[in-house]
Chain A
Amino acid sequence: MIWPALILLFMFILAPAIEIFRASIFDPEFTTEHINRIFGRDIYLTILWRTIKVSLVVSVLCAVIAYPVAYFIVKRPRQQQFAFLFLIFVPMWMNILIRTYAWMVVLGREGIINSTMIALGLIDESIQMLFTSGAVYVSMIQILLPIQIVTCYSAMTEIDFDLVRAARILGASPAQALRRVFLPLSLDGTITGMIIVFMLSMGFFITPALVGGPTDLMLANLIEMQVEQLNWGFAATIAILLFTSTLLFVLVIRSLSKMLTKFLGGGNL
């Protein structure tokens, strides 16, 4: 009974992935043309580096911002937790296009922030907020934050709060108990969330195109532009670059986080 699912995933995930690899080096004869093109001009590596940088910043900021939020929810009585979670779920379920559109409305030249500030007399002329890197960060974090909060929260629900209480009884201050007991135990969920957010932002497409400027384009936008120009082989090569660099950085994040866990778990008070 598993066969229909396997056949479907083979046809629409595995075979297409293989096709991407094939298209990047056979066109139709074996060629390294596309790979040379990527390394031949700075622009492609610049966009690759920007994509990685944006994704790293977004995932770290999401982790830091989400942690207290998840902690706040998990400390509520059980029956109340769903009501608080619901406030996180509603934006999470919303279409990314719509959420990006919302930011265009908020940050635009005649948007809410600008018109409010002009009405209050704080500024005389609209500030350029839309089509900047700042707009990309603000919207991407807003879009990905709920995922981090929910991942972090569900990891925290597994933690036995008696351990924190035990630390307190044994003489730890609240801050010490939090740092020495709760933080190491909740770190795994935070890292998992960070990796998910990182992987998702590496493939981001809609938000950089709509709220960013021309210098905010990411790898996914580059792929789309190449597809529009019917350069499938080159698009495939960029897609592989996207895939391998994502994988590489996930491995880096994981090994760094293992070192961090060791550091927090061991050592002195």
Chain B
Amino acid sequence: MNELNQSPFADVDPATEMSDSLFARGEEMELNFGPQHPSTHGVLRLKLRVDGERITDCYPIIGYLHRGTEKLFELHPFFQNVPHTDRMDYVAAATNNLAYVGAVEKLVGLVIPPRARYIRTILCELQRISSHLLWLATHAIDIGAMTPFFYTFRERELILDLFEQFCGARLTLNCMRPGGLPHDLPVGWTDKCREFIGLFPAACDEYEGLLTHNRIWKKRTVGIGVLPPDVAVDYGITGPMLRGSGIQWDLRKAMPYEAYGEVEFEVPIGQNGDTYDRYLVRMEEMRQANRIIAQCLDKLPEGPILAKRPRVMKAAKDAEVYYGIESPKGEIGFYIVGDGTPNPYRCHVRPPSFVNLQSLPELTKGYLLADLVALIGTTDIVLGEVDR
């Protein structure tokens, strides 16, 4: 009988791979860092074995937010599935959209006009900034600093306003279609965007001034949750978690997509693989995203925003494609199999948070309970993506 068949509320779990030696002797306590908790960023359940304050083992149990998204994909034609992708990683909807429409375009064989590519890049980078701002807010408030939360949300409001002016929604954007974009930029959008990127570096400096050199922050994050690079590669971790451990791998540089091949930016990497390095990597990524948006706005070409596409988009039978992009949390990929009808036959998502979450037991062994919240924050998981 494996874990899947057991009720999630079973008390002692012989099927979990948790060490039993100290537990049997009664020295360890089993705690449920339950699905409802202010700092698990969603409904994540962690079964912990603690020895006093030290965590000796940690077993994540997920599935509390499973909504059958991958099945829902199979029921409707390709272009109708874009709203479903918004709701997986609900914090960074534009990159989800892009991964899906990119996969469909690769499957059907569409060529995107340059203006659409640049606008999509701008949207993705804005989304990257917005997602990292939310990550910083929640991470800081878990560690105890309350004010970065409010400051980052103040800037995030500006980004959400930009999104709203473009596509009508703030969080579940539905802002891309297979072939390009549903509508063009409204008048004055580029000016507002430039206004935002003009004031953003100062805002970044403000957050850094509050946290980066603060000795309490450093004490809480330096040396906590060290992820060795080979372990990270073994688990298949991508995104800032991987780059924090020193591995130079970013899909935007390694396999450029959209307009990333035509803009200049740097990819920050960390040295020690601890929480502080991942924090620095994400802060620098926000600044680089700002730089990318500025360049894209300068280079924005004129032209159509939607490719010529067939009225009914069908994929050939048994045609399959995998398309991955760099979302703020890591590599998000869509694996779509067509079957000759307008609906996909199978659409599987490779969510970055799901893969990054695997490293959590490895990261938390030996640290204190108070570090657990910092570590959950640094893995930057969104349960909508983990469970789909």
> Are chains A and B native binding partners rather than an unrelated pairing?
no
Q: Which A residues contact B (CB, under 8 angstroms)?
A: none
Q: Which B residues contact A (CB, under 8 angstroms)?
A: none
